[in-house]
Structure 1
């Protein structure tokens, strides 16, 4: 799994939530530009990505990542879930949406549902 958020605290929180689950965090990025580089180099099964980031936002990065690797499951994270953001994320191929503030159960449940709906039942 790749964690993408410009907020260090958010990445730390997500990493600690995922540490006790079956997800293995292989990389972290602060913006969409770095996320694209890491997605290409690391080929994560799942990317958990913030919508609003500097340099390149999550929606733009989502489209680029899905164009390069359509099989990658991308779950978007946002503190301001506007109808436009949700619609654009789903149209861009996002497999799920996590709203800040979140709790561990919500994060793991959303990631699990996104993974299962991708048709790849077992994490590798």
Structure 2
């Protein structure tokens, strides 16, 4: 009996819709490519955050540069959200509880 699972891919389909991979082999070529793409997307987002911090410190940064930065940050956040949804879906398929903790934490990390 085949137990294929759906995996949300880290790139959209042709019309911008979510794209899924149905496979029972988590080590397939396409699965590995998706893993690599997720890592690239997350690393690019991290580098973009570092670049943003530098831009905010530079008084010469103009509004057009901030607008461009905002667009790239939105793309990076969209990518990170898709990666989180994909990884959360895979954890849920394994029976891991992926519901966020309902407790609130204060700014210093302590639970209230």
Richer in strand (by share): 1
Larger radius of gyration: 2
Scaled by the length of structure 2, what TM-score is found? Answer: 0.29
Give the alignment's TM-score, normalised by structure 1: 0.27
Structure with the bigger RCO (C-alpha within 8 Å, sep 6+) is: 2
Higher helix share: 2
